[in-house]
Amino acid sequence: MIPDKAPREDVFHGSEELKRDAHVSSFERYKELYQSSIQRPDEFWGDIAKEFFWKTTHSGPFLEYNFDVTKGEVFVKCMGGATTNISYNLLDRNVHERKLGERVAFYWEGNEPGDELTVTYRQLLQSVCRFANVLKAQGVKKGDRVSIYMPMVVELVVAMLACARIGAVHSIVFAGFSAESLCERIMDSQCSLLITADGFYRGDKLINLKLLADEALQKCRDKGFPLDKCIVLRHLSKETEDTSQSPPAKRACPDLQVPWNPEVDLCWLSLTRAASDECEPEWVESEDPLFILYTSGSTGKPKGVLHTVAGYMLYTATTFKLVFDHQPDDVYWCTADIGWITGHSYITYGPLANGATSVLFEGLPTYPDVSRMWEIVDKYHVSKFYTAPTAIRLLMKYGSEPVKKFKRDSLKILGTVGEPINPEAWHWYYNVVGEKRCPIVDTFWQTETGGHVLTPLPAATPMKPGSATFPFFGVVPAILNESGEELEGPSEGYLVFKQPWPGVMRTVFGNHQRFETIYFKKFPGYYVTGDGCRRDKDGYYWITGRIDDMLNVSGHLLSTAEVESALVEHEAVAEAAVVGRPHPVKGESLYCFVTLNDGLTFSRTLEAELKQQVREKIGAIATPDFIQNAPGLPKTRSGKIMRRVLRKIACDERDLGDISTLADSSVVEQLFQNRCGAGV
């Protein structure tokens, strides 16, 4: 019997006031709608689809699929036969049909307080059309891939929607990734154009993004992939007459060195100035690709998760509307970066599909001070606020004073995403930030799922701190044991899904077999999430964390293999093994064991070099916290590294369990003695 870790009394409910106007106002109603979404999906999603514009409508079942690899190729098809355009649905439909042209789409808030811009739906539509014409003039066609490597500026949204407007496939690479990572992603997706910016500030730190982009393009050239078109937005080194696109930046940085290669580089502003602001959308098939987004793969090679147009649009629109209980007078703020799936689904596509008004924030929660988030909440009267547990834990360290300096009385619903939220952080978020007024939607999902799959609905679902609660509409979870048997009632095991929902990924770009192997081979007939999960006696789902070789650092997945291969590329390193070690703010941090080549000695300089090496290969998010010299690694007789033992050493836990399969147990004691950060 699995103990129920959530005591009965620790259950929280949305307020009566919230229930009054909510889209889903009671748990009974949730259950009814859930049943109809499972039993009559055509009707359920068909009604939702009616709110959108279809150039031609679909025929046949709403969803067709095969999840069972033993019966043939895995596929998911949503609204077969329909044609549409997502940028039309997000912009033209809102401006022309719903008459929301003057509604604010984004309040852009720059890194520097006071650096701000308001963009209406009408303005956004014009900018998107202009940039879509620019892309067309550069020869970008339907189906071509376009890499985007930009900071959190409105032009990033413009670039992605311009791609969508002409049927091109965007591949956004988070601006915190290294040149090497960008090169790898450009080459894997065979992009025909790169869009980037000169640079940006992260807090006090100036990032010269163009230098990194140039480095990436040089690497591509060296590897035989010459990409010779790069559109560059001047964000910091701004031209003064640029009033239509962006505000003059407070921290404008005229001295920023922007290397310019006239053979390759094209200026965003000059191109858009010359372009028309009308652009007929490309009418694409429901299953045409919308975007690729790379996520870490357990082999170390990132996978290009591919999402398609119609299903992703309906799913992000519906989850956004119901999970944040979107209302017309809301101001919504998701603090994620658009370079991650959360930003794709819940800054761009979901909110715009609903005609929502959002805050788009370029800066950091701690710059210029730790009150910044709450200052912004008050400035824009934010009513729905969505962030990550790691940000909550970071701010929690500074106590409640910086929060209480601001009123926050506009807040109605709070959300979290990215990793399990520990009860302490949940309670702080609930009690201090939300003043016990605001339900917390703990949304479990993945790059692959496109949108929320396990989540409370704020007015309907009684919340238990730390539980993502119940499935969203159309989602059928199950818990399997190692033999692939479905477990009933309270249980713990592999979290899988039994059938597709509209927003699930369709393939790994360029490698459908890898898609089948990763998600469908282990348990034929199920989509395997890679997460462990517990179901309690009330049917609540509790994510227990990854059960593959993935680490979750500050809500971002990294594969141990990816970091290990960055380490062994250093000439001093013969072998490396990386494990996660719990971290009070980041959730997990990287603890690396390295075995050096014969005759070399470990030093502080080498340690610093190795950390730098990982930063350069992957990006700052992957910087190891600890690197330990490991003259030997604990291995089985067949040579497999026992990571379970390394995890214990990293945490200084002496209870190692069964280590009888270890080839040489003396290495373990040696590693305990050489631990890094003893006492932390």
Which residues are near ligand PRX by CB under 6 A? Answer: 295, 341-342, 417-420, 442-447, 468, 529-531, 543, 546, 552, 556-557
Q: Which secondary-structure segment (H or E) carries 156?
A: helix 154-166
Residue with Cβ nearer ligand PRX (133 or 295): 295
- Give residues with Cβ within 8 angstroms of 207, minimum separation 6: 151, 175, 199, 200, 201
- Measured from the CB of residue 376, what is the shortest distance to ligand PRX in angstroms? 22
Residue with Cβ nearer ligand PRX (289 or 339): 339
- CA distances from residue 671 to 127, 581, 628, 636, 666 in whole angstroms, order as listed: 58, 15, 8, 16, 9
In SS3 terms, 74-134 reads as CEEEECCCCEECHHHHHHHHHHHHCCCCCCEEEEEECCCCCCEEEEEHHHHHHHHHHHHHH
Backbone angles phi, psi at 641, to 5 degrees: -70, 130
- Measured from the CB of residue 421, what is the shortest distance to ligand PRX in angstroms? 7
Residue with Cβ nearer ligand PRX (434 or 580): 580
Residue with Cβ nearer ligand PRX (110 or 530): 530
Distance between CA atoms of residues 185 and 182, nearest Å: 5
Distance between CA atoms of residues 86 and 419, nearest Å: 29
What b/e sequence results for 622-657 when a residue is b if at least 16 CB atoms lie within 10 Å of its CB, and e otherwise?
A: bebbbbbbbeebbbeeeeebbbebbebbbeeeeebe
- Measured from the CB of residue 368, what is the shortest distance to ligand PRX in angstroms? 28
Residue with Cβ nearer ligand PRX (621 or 656): 621
Q: What is the DSSP string of 418-438?
A: SSPPPHHHHHHIIIIISTTTS
- Measured from the CB of residue 298, what is the shortest distance to ligand PRX in angstroms? 12
Residue matched to tokens 């790994």: 508
Residue with Cβ nearer ligand PRX (245 or 416): 416
Residue with Cβ nearer ligand PRX (155 or 531): 531
- Widest distance between CA atoms in the chain: 73
Residue with Cβ nearer ligand PRX (245 or 443): 443
- Measured from the CB of residue 41, what is the shortest distance to ligand PRX in angstroms? 23
- Measured from the CB of residue 545, what is the shortest distance to ligand PRX in angstroms? 6
Residue matched to tokens 């013969």: 574
- Measured from the CB of residue 295, what is the shortest distance to ligand PRX in angstroms? 5
- Measured from the CB of residue 453, what is the shortest distance to ligand PRX in angstroms? 9
Number of Cβ within a 10 Å radius of residue 516: 17
Beta bridge partners of 596: 573
Apex CA 679: angle with CA 677 and CA 680, to 5°? 65
- Measured from the CB of residue 446, what is the shortest distance to ligand PRX in angstroms? 4
> Exposure of 36 by Cβ count < 10 A (0-12 exposed, 13-18 middle, 19+ buried)?
middle
Residue with Cβ nearer ligand PRX (45 or 340): 340
